[in-house]
Chain A
């Protein structure tokens, strides 16, 4: 378990999924903030400077890739750890994500929620 509660930001437009993720990560002892699109997510990220961002791609207002692009322009955001969590499985998107320095690219439907938590913990440990 993480002793000092780590701060994570979840950006996900699908409310059902956002709820279950927030619920799960709270239970695991994280301090969780959430956003429903890229624009809100970006503001929140720059304000709160979370330890890690879980980011969806397909979202209204501002999509995940645009958000990373803007995030990377910020001094802090340039090296902020990001894990992409999406249902798109598109080689172009994966390549683009890696070019933008994301830590991992997870296809939601193929991942158990427990494994997502484990992945986040692994990243924060290092």
Chain B
């Protein structure tokens, strides 16, 4: 392809072709629609023709019937009248439909040619159509004479010639009418057949046209698409070629140019592009050449200068070059940094004298002027101002710069930093002085330390001796639980060596376990560290020695606090308690055995007395009974005393058991009161009871709760004069319940109130009045309450009464294994 039509023409051509193609299609569609219309109108005629034929048939029938009726009823003038009218009407209708039919036939004939084609295609139709045409002609021919006869018939009717009417009808009209009617019948059938044939033709034509239109539109669409595709391809082709050429040029072939094949717009663009490339490459060549020449020139001229400049650039000194007028024309990077310039341009023309302390400015200026005018070199130490330089002191030297002919063209000034040097000298001086002073101070300090050390050593030695000589084992741990001190007795008891235990965790050395189950018992030491309070070791603790022997120990631990009150360690003191433990055991066994032995005779006394009193051994009189009940009371007291002693012993040894179960404390209170009924009745004490309804069942030891109620209530009754009042209340609080036992009795003297919980103590005032009493009850009560998590308190006033208040936790008691229960 060497020549392409310009783009705008191309578009015009394609649009024109498209116009013709679309017009052609529209024309075709229009033609086909027209054809359809023709078929339609043809079919329409054929649909109407059988209707008119039927109408003709019916009217003929009506006409003949009317004439028949006239003939039959000729003697009844009224009926003839009616039938005559029907006859006239039928005749009119017949003629009307006949006329219409003729019109249809003539219209039909105007399109005969088209129909003829259809007829040629179908032999059967052709024959029937032919017959139809002939039949129609016959109908037209036959009708005329028939109407003439009817006219004649009507004349006879009007004239009343009855006989003629009858014979005329029977001989002429009836047979003729019948013939005409059967002719019409056959004609109608043919019409119907032809109509159906035309309707089928119409449907086929319709379907053909629809398909044709669809095919036409699809092909039109494809044609348009193909045109558009070629238009785009033709238009893009030159652009693509140009792009390929550019790629070739970019890849290095600078000689390559875009091929210009056409003279259209794109061709013009391509040739302009080629021109541009030519211009660019020519310019580039020129530039390259110029650059080469330039760099050669530069290389020659600067190699020497560069060497000197490099020297200046690398130097940390401040190198300045002055022109003849004394202005700075160059300053080295070292100088720029010194004077705080960011660019060399800032330093050009700067009056450097302002950076020098005022008193030296004149001297420096003079030195520089002498160098410039007479070529005299010079140097001096210069002090700088802080705001213009970051060096305090510089050694400034000035030399003249001469041209080749020897004339002075400027001056070179080099200034070197000597600040550090100057400072070092100062520091050195100062240090010599300080050293002397320090030496004196050190000597004094050493003397003090020597003295203090002697004192501390003495103190520590004394402390160590005290600690090591103590009869108990002493062990000190730091806040990391590491042993920092371990005295001789601790070594003796545990069997460990001091040197081997220092720095170890205490629980790796001192193994404290429970006597009963061998479980570790170190908790109290942790508690001391955490709470910062003194704690005692739980009873029944044993220490496992180094050789595995077990030894009963008793001990306590106390925190070591620093000045701020923070716990920094712990002192644990322990001693061999095996002897004590043995004594305790012996005592416990003794009490247990003694009480058993004491109980047996007491039981004998009680039971025999009971038998006597109940008359089992014969009748007794009232006086005897009174004496016996005194003996019985005494014996009961003895039993109570034995029980109390046993309880006390168990409390002291910590061996009493707590066995909680679900109980209703109100019931226990009631039962304690019930047991005291005899005393209450004898003394006429008024009992006031008040229990909270919401008191729940709690987990507590029945016996222990019983002991509390029994003791407090019996005390209240015992120490209240006859006719007095005792109030018992149980209240529920959120976390605990409160038992209050209040009386209006003798009270406790203020001076003795502190002692009432002590073992075997009885207040003076009651000792006089009531000899009965062991002095153990309140001790037992307080011990039981406190060991099961409760509290007891009281208020009392002599001769006014006493109120005891007991608080027990709602959570109940915790189970405590012990060897003995209380009774």
Q: Which residue of B lies closest to A58 (CB)?
A: B596
Q: Which residue of B lies closest to A113 (CB)?
A: B607
Interface contact A113-B611, CB-CB below 8 Å: yes
Interface contact B819-A91, CB-CB below 8 Å: yes
- Residues on A with beta carbons closer than 8 Å to the beta carbon of B409: none
Q: Report, nearest first, the 3 A-B pairs whose CB atoms are least far apart.
A: A87-B599, A109-B599, A108-B603
Min CB–CB distance B348 → chain A (angstroms): 110
Determine whether B820 belongs to the interface, using a CB cutoff of 8 Å to chain A. Answer: yes
Interface contact A17-B607, CB-CB below 8 Å: yes
Bound-complex Cα distance A34 to B604 (A): 17
Bound-complex Cα distance A17 to B596 (A): 14
* CB under 8 Å from chain B, chain A span 83-126: 87-92, 94, 107-110, 112-114
- Residues on B with beta carbons closer than 8 Å to the beta carbon of A21: 607
Min CB–CB distance B655 → chain A (angstroms): 9
Q: Which residue of B lies closest to A94 (CB)?
A: B821
Question: Can you list 14 residue pairs at the A/B interface with Cβ under 8 Å?
Answer: A24-B616, A58-B596, A87-B596, A87-B600, A87-B603, A89-B820, A89-B821, A89-B823, A90-B821, A92-B819, A109-B642, A109-B643, A110-B643, A112-B610
Interface contact B610-A91, CB-CB below 8 Å: no
- Residues on B with beta carbons closer than 8 Å to the beta carbon of A87: 595-596, 599-600, 603
- Secondary structure at the A interface, as helix, strand, loop or mixed, is helix
Known: A91-B821, A109-B639. 9 other contacts (CB 8 A): A20-B604, A27-B616, A87-B603, A89-B820, A109-B599, A109-B603, A110-B823, A112-B606, A113-B611
With A90-B592, A92-B819 known as contacts, the answer to whether A20 contacts B611 (CB < 8 A) is: yes
Min CB–CB distance B587 → chain A (angstroms): 16
Q: Which residue of A lies closest to B603 (CB)?
A: A108
Bound-complex Cα distance A110 to B599 (A): 9
Determine whether A73 belongs to the interface, using a CB cutoff of 8 Å to chain B. Answer: no
Interface contact B599-A108, CB-CB below 8 Å: yes
Q: Which range contains the number of A residues in contact with the other chain?
A: 20 to 34
With A24-B616, A91-B819, A91-B820 known as contacts, the answer to whether A14 contacts B610 (CB < 8 A) is: no
Interface contact B821-A113, CB-CB below 8 Å: no
Q: Which range contains the number of B residues in contact with the other chain?
A: 20 to 34
Bound-complex Cα distance A27 to B607 (A): 14
* CB under 8 Å from chain A, chain B span 597-653: 599-600, 602-604, 606-608, 610-611, 614, 616, 639, 642-643, 646
B residues adjacent to A (C-beta < 8 A)? 592, 595-596, 599-600, 602-604, 606-608, 610-611, 614, 616, 639, 642-643, 646, 657, 659, 818-821, 823
Bound-complex Cα distance A114 to B609 (A): 12
- Residues on A with beta carbons closer than 8 Å to the beta carbon of B600: 14, 17, 87, 108
Q: Which of B600, B639, B820 counts the most A-chain CB atoms under 10 A from its CB?
A: B600
Q: Which residue of A lies closest to B642 (CB)?
A: A109
- Residues on B with beta carbons closer than 8 Å to the beta carbon of A109: 599, 602-603, 606, 639, 642-643
- Residues on B with beta carbons closer than 8 Å to the beta carbon of A91: 657, 659, 818-821
- Residues on A with beta carbons closer than 8 Å to the beta carbon of B643: 109-110
Residue from A23, A24, A58, A89 within 8 A of B646 (CB atoms) = A89
Interface contact A114-B614, CB-CB below 8 Å: yes
Bound-complex Cα distance A51 to B610 (A): 26
Interface contact A107-B596, CB-CB below 8 Å: no
Q: Which of A16, A17, A89, A107 counts the most B-chain CB atoms under 10 A from its CB?
A: A89
Bound-complex Cα distance A90 to B592 (A): 9
Bound-complex Cα distance A109 to B821 (A): 16
- Residues on B with beta carbons closer than 8 Å to the beta carbon of A20: 604, 607-608, 611
- Residues on A with beta carbons closer than 8 Å to the beta carbon of B616: 23-24, 27
Bound-complex Cα distance A109 to B643 (A): 9
Q: Which residue of B lies closest to A88 (CB)?
A: B596
Q: Which residue of A lies closest to B616 (CB)?
A: A27
Bound-complex Cα distance A95 to B816 (A): 14
Bound-complex Cα distance A17 to B602 (A): 10
- Residues on B with beta carbons closer than 8 Å to the beta carbon of A94: 821
- Residues on B with beta carbons closer than 8 Å to the beta carbon of A17: 600, 603-604, 607
Min CB–CB distance A99 → chain B (angstroms): 14
Interface contact B592-A107, CB-CB below 8 Å: no
Min CB–CB distance A98 → chain B (angstroms): 11
Interface contact B611-A24, CB-CB below 8 Å: yes
Bound-complex Cα distance A23 to B616 (A): 9
Bound-complex Cα distance A51 to B567 (A): 68
Interface contact B606-A90, CB-CB below 8 Å: no
Interface contact B603-A114, CB-CB below 8 Å: no
Min CB–CB distance A106 → chain B (angstroms): 11
Q: Which residue of A lies closest to B602 (CB)?
A: A109
Interface contact A114-B610, CB-CB below 8 Å: yes
- Residues on A with beta carbons closer than 8 Å to the beta carbon of B592: 88, 90
- Residues on A with beta carbons closer than 8 Å to the beta carbon of B607: 17, 20-21, 24, 112-113
Min CB–CB distance B27 → chain A (angstroms): 123
